Structure 1
């Protein structure tokens, strides 16, 4: 057979076979595809990476950065113009917020405390975006609460990135709110100058506003990276730890500071500060004071050192790498995470009251900073316990007799006097429910006496076990009175509702 004829027949036969196969439903084999590569996870920026904040912790407590469930991360670049009248802070803020509630959120609320009535200042927003989109804004609580409408609902467990640009005017010689948001005597105090995420509770966002004689902050534990640019001759003291400082063209310096897990971030700056330092174990303890106040500044440092030792032994480890105590033109003393501000008068006329105030404010590092609470509506939970805790400072430093005397003079006497004058009151009330003259005797006095009497009832060893367990149970979290009562009853094995009602929920 000729090759050409064979070839034609072979092709025809092959076509017939293929056609029959197609009619029978046969399918050609699918080609083999190479597996797709696994996408590489994009790491978060450093300010959203928990490991970044280990540098602000003791080595023994560095893993605490992993204990916070769904924390908020703040990145703030702030530029201080001290020559403006009044001084101004220009800020760019990025906030990474995770919805840890059980509710899908349409808005996120921030507290804008520079807008608090009476300050005469403002936090003026220039730009706000969520996930890069412009958003609607609405204000509540006399301008101190900002609602940011999200472009898309935020389900539980999901996160959103928000960007803000704003400027803040700082009041001059301002005594409102203890004077901690103020520029006076060449000292700049920037308490709550930034946009702070509000707390979302079961019934919605908590937007309560405290009067001037109460602490305003109710906040979840978060992480902060703050870059503050100031004149080169200013010393900057903040919550957390300074990790970088660089001089810029134009005679300014940028300080980069990070926090551990903290629920607030305070800044104090001045070109007048003198510094003394010491250590408690691996904790760096700093005292900043004005020229001419070295003796008082170093005495304050010693009080803070002994307080830190006493409370670590009594309640648990202070986990941060440093603690600062700063002289400033304020009223009395005010606590912040990792930082205590003390009034100038206590350096000019240092005495027993100064010692007590330092012990009280350092105790707040446990009760408010690490174990948080609603300071506006439930102020006794941290103030009463901090005032009572001073008894451990005095017992550790001087012995029981001196501790009893200090507790009587600085704590119990004010309550006893108010009671004799017919001004007894219920301890569990919001700040605004108290007249200014009654707030101290009832919250700082009667509430602290409750703990004193509880120690008498249960014994010192049992009460210390209660406080240690309460600290570990609510560390970096928010506490309510029921948490304290629950732990106390479990540890003591006693029912304490009646005792609690008598002291905290009742008045004669």
Structure 2
């Protein structure tokens, strides 16, 4: 423990000195890439979504596939403090009816368990399966990721999406009130959205490139394409919405706000998105998508990330919006740690939330030193003082339902993981750590990373096994504390004596 205290004190003393004073087009489809084709009509007045989705995929199991239909979670009442924190206390349930489920054009009998539908398969695996479904949805009203208010409809995790099957089997986790209870693989999306005149949208697609069909009086059809993305989110907005726009490299950054919002705060949020995208481009890898939307929604979700789009609730558009700037930076960091490099957000939430929080700290340290210093110290305090969590057998590397409250989730998943990365930064230096993170992102780009992926990257960069270090930090294994401290000190001395950077990977893109 003593060595960690020495490192922490050293970090505190050095903060004021160490902080400075101041896509290409989306990549084309891969062989055997899953394709989602959706055609939906949205009625903003009735708060209804009606349409169909067709999923073309190569099955990983000859007998069946599973589909997550997350809107089903909001067709029944949830009780408890955690659900109240997520959805609010004044909740109106939605409805969801799926019908005419076909496989290769033939009706099949499906089994529903919670928000998961089991679909029987019978075709050979030598060719892709086409699964289609019609659905009608009345939106719930709540404070969460999928709801509405008088000016907007925001649709997060709304389209049916294939469950992941890997070496551990099928991942069929239920909707949880803590964290982001999702796990998905990259796919291509072709989504046609029909809206009444007078409405506009922002989505995971490059909306400015959408083909818009005005042929039917009183309505418009948007043809949206998104290539190689992890999910597809969508916000429908009325005419009270406007946006600020700046190009960063090949990416158009758009920040959406409403009449009545603070214009000054909207500008600050836009600055945060632009500066963060620029910084993360320079540090971790160039953002591959050509549009990034920061969209003001209702509710109290704080911030919520999706590929190429993030939701930001209205509190962040009030004058001097509470923590708005930092929230935008954090959600932008998720465009790398969640979107570009995926992970199981249910079982290993630390891999996206903790890494995104470290990236946020690094940005603030470089661009806004005072704000950065305060936030780093707070995360270090929360992430290194852990006797209670050891006693309660809580740790960052556990599944979402094992966290008893949002405070423990924040302390362990956000603070302890970002503290671990900050300790590596103290030992290696910013340049070296970010080189290792670039290698990690590049190696797992558009794929799924896990704890073993990070351990392999870290062990390779250090030149020896990082197992004890990660067991102490991520599993809170106190028996590994001294070994982890020795490992980190050796890292520091090797960097001081040699300072050889990791050779940049020369993999063909």
What TM-score do the two structures reach when normalised by structure 2?
Answer: 0.81
Partner of 1:30: none
Deviation of 1:88 (Å): 1.3
Partner of 2:54: 94
Q: Whole-Å Cα distance in 2 between the matches of residues 493 and 414 of structure 1?
A: 30
Deviation of 1:123 (Å): 2.6
Partner of 1:47: none
Deviation of 1:256 (Å): 1.5
Residue aligned with 1:395, SS: helix
What TM-score do the two structures reach when normalised by structure 1?
Answer: 0.81
Partner of 2:67: 110
Partner of 2:253: 285
Distance 1:210 1:415, change over 3 A: farther
Whether the 8 Å contact between 1:462 and 1:491 is mirrored in structure 2 is: no
Whether the 8 Å contact between 1:226 and 1:257 is mirrored in structure 2 is: yes
Q: Whole-Å Cα distance in 2 between the matches of residues 394 and 69 of structure 1?
A: 40
1:94-130 CA distances to partner (integer Å, 9 max, x unpaired)? 111113x4xx421111100001144732331121111
Distance 1:114 1:359, change over 3 A: same
Partner of 1:12: none
Deviation of 1:83 (Å): 2.7
Deviation of 1:402 (Å): 4.7
Q: Whole-Å Cα distance in 1 between the matches of residues 25 and 435 of structure 2?
A: 21
Matched, 1:368 2:331: no
Gaps of 5+ in 2: 1-22, 78-91, 479-509
Q: Whole-Å Cα distance in 2 between the matches of residues 73 and 323 of structure 1?
A: 22
Which has the greater radius of gyration?
1
Q: Whole-Å Cα distance in 1 between the matches of residues 245 and 123 of structure 2?
A: 49
Deviation of 1:426 (Å): 1.1
1:354-408 CA distances to partner (integer Å, 9 max, x unpaired)? 1111111000000000110111111111000000111221233235x65332322
Partner of 1:251: 218
Aligned length: 433
Matched, 1:227 2:192: yes
Alignment equivalent of 2:435, drawn from 458, 465, 468:
465
Q: Whole-Å Cα distance in 1 between the matches of residues 464 and 427 of structure 2?
A: 11
Partner of 1:65: 28
Deviation of 1:273 (Å): 1.0
Q: Which range moves more in the overlay, 208-217 or 130-139?
A: 208-217
Q: Whole-Å Cα distance in 2 between the matches of residues 357 and 417 of structure 1?
A: 24
Partner of 1:40: none
Partner of 1:429: 398
Residue aligned with 1:275, SS: strand
1:265-312 CA distances to partner (integer Å, 9 max, x unpaired)? 001111121111111122101011011322211211110000001101
Q: Whole-Å Cα distance in 1 between the matches of residues 400 and 319 of structure 2?
A: 30
Partner of 1:131: 104
Partner of 1:149: 120
Gaps of 5+ in 1: 1-57
Alignment equivalent of 2:37, drawn from 55, 65, 75:
75
